[in-house]
Amino acid sequence: MAVEVRKQRQSHRFHSMKLLGHGGHGRSGDVALNVTALVDMMMVLVIFLVMNFNASGEMLFLSKDMKMALSQNGMEVTRVPIVSISYSDPNRCDAEEGKPVDPQCIKGDGSRDLYFEGLPLGVSLNELDENELVIAELEEKLVENRKKFEMVGGSRAEDLPPEEDPTTTVNVQVHGKTDFKILRKVMTTCEQAGYGRIRFTTGDGRKADGGGHGGGEHKEGEH
Amino acid sequence: MGGAAEPQPSGKGGKKAMDAAINLVPYIDLLMTIMTFLVMTAVWTQIAALEVQNASGNAPQEPDPNDKPPPALFVLVSSTEVKVQEEGKEAKVFPNVDGVVDRVKIGEDLMRLLKDVPERHDVKVKSEPDVLFENVAEVIDIATGTCIDKNQRDTCLYQITLNPV
């Protein structure tokens, strides 16, 4: 598929400039350009992007303080309420094997925060009472979420598959360096609020080798 | 730019050329539009979900009195090791390697236990308070992936319960 050479120039002014000519002998300004390679490249890119396309979109809220664990056998993430536990890791700037140190990296302060649907709840998980298993702020948000859904959707939740039911299922997005004692409080709170089906979101190790780590980097890294 | 080859007479005696000129401009435009849309909506972070049921606090389901459930399977996670234990039997200990759970050996042991009792589907994962979530997630992941036939969910350990020790 070669490019068609026009019979007539579009711009007589350009033609009169004889930019492409040498020594006053005007050469035709038309250049035969083969677009086959261009079209091939575009096709490859389109196929690659279509294969990576995710209709459910970017559901999770990722930041530098959210580096998720990896899984090889995880299921598809569904759109149900998202509870996030972040950790501002003081060691996150340390050099990892085979990776250069980022000179612009800012060390974390060790704080652990709780979010519901991407919004901070103002709860510092490091300062919670050891013996208190229920986080009142989170429970309130979860109950409110169910009420809202029932108000709008009525009994629609009953028709949904269990893993998509936003009144009983919750996605819990946890930083990999979170202690189980903190996670337990969040799990107990979810159950107390009637969300007994807990789905931990992780990076998908199958699709991206060692990847799926959250964080602003959006890049793959070794576990 | 953007047109296919001009038809050239190919036969003798003024026969009509079989080649047709194809204008590639709309095709390239379409590809550019699709590419722009796909790049703008691309999700680069691949995520998955590990489901746990009946986690800490919930009352267990009422068992059917006619059913004799298979012996329970426990996986105990501590900061240094993982223990796999079948109810009434001795626990097998798998020390962590460089702070990470021994994925291969635990997987093999769970598979052996599943093959012994193929009707078994539940695993009770118990974790100590100071264990990092990445290790707990690894154990849940191993258990979830333990299947005799990956295409049949009934042959897998799909019912994972997560509780504190």
* One-letter identity of residue B86: E
Cβ-nearest to A76 among B39, B43, B49: B49
Q: Given an 8 Å threshold on Cβ–Cβ distance, is A183 in contact with B28?
A: no
Q: Given an 8 Å threshold on Cβ–Cβ distance, is A212 in contact with B47?
A: yes
Per cent of chain B over pLDDT 90 is: 29
Count other Cβ atoms within 10 Å, centred on residue A221: 18
Strands (E), chain A: 70-71, 82-87, 112-116, 119-124, 169-174, 197-204
Alpha carbons A155 and A193: distance in angstroms, whole number:
18
Q: Which of residues 50-109 of A touch B (CB under 8 A)?
A: 50, 52-54, 57-60, 62, 68-78
Answer yes or no: is pLDDT of A214 > 50. Answer: no
Question: Residue A176 to residues A69, A180, B73, B141: CA-CA distances in angstroms?
Answer: 5, 10, 25, 14
Give per-residue pLDDT as tens, B115-129.
888 888 889 999 999
Exposure class string for A152-177: b at 16+ Cβ within 10 A, else e: eeeeebeebeebebbbbbbbbbbbbe
User: Can you give the pLDDT at residue B139?
Assistant: 92
Answer yes or no: is pLDDT of A220 > 50. Answer: no
User: Do A114 and A135 contact (CB within 8 A), yes or no?
Assistant: yes
Nearest-neighbour CA in chain B from A154: distance (Å): 25
Q: Could you tell me if A41 lies within 8 Å of chain B, comparing CB atoms?
A: no
Q: Residue B31: name the closest of A54, A44, A52 by CA.
A: A44
Per cent of chain B over pLDDT 70 is: 84
Q: Scanning the structure block, which residue is given the tokens 């680069």?
A: B44
User: Do A187 and A137 contact (CB within 8 A), yes or no?
Assistant: no
Nearest-neighbour CA in chain A from B140: distance (Å): 9
Question: Which is higher by pLDDT, B119 or A6?
Answer: B119
Give per-residue pLDDT as tens, A82-137.
999 999 888 877 777 777 777 778 888 888 899 998 888 888 888 888 888 889 89
User: Can you give the pLDDT at residue B57?
Assistant: 44
User: Can you give the pLDDT at residue B82?
Assistant: 92
Q: Count H helices, E strands: chain B?
A: 3, 6
- pTM tops 0.80: no
User: Do B119 and B156 contact (CB within 8 A), yes or no?
Assistant: no
Q: Given an 8 Å threshold on Cβ–Cβ distance, is B49 in contact with A77?
A: yes
Answer yes or no: is pLDDT of A151 > 60. Answer: yes
User: Can you give the pLDDT at residue A126?
Assistant: 84
A132 Cβ contact partners less than 8 Å away, ≥ 6 residues apart? A185
User: Can you give the pLDDT at residue B98?
Assistant: 86
Provide the ipTM. 0.73
Q: Given an 8 Å threshold on Cβ–Cβ distance, is B47 in contact with A75?
A: no
**A99: buried, middle or exposed (CB in 10 Å: 19+, 13-18, 0-12)?**
exposed
**Collapsed DSSP state (helix, strand, coil) of residue B93:** strand
Please compute the mean of the pLDDT values over residues B104-108 and round it to a whole number.
Answer: 91
Task: Count Cα atoms within 13 angstroms, Cβ side, for B117.
Answer: 16
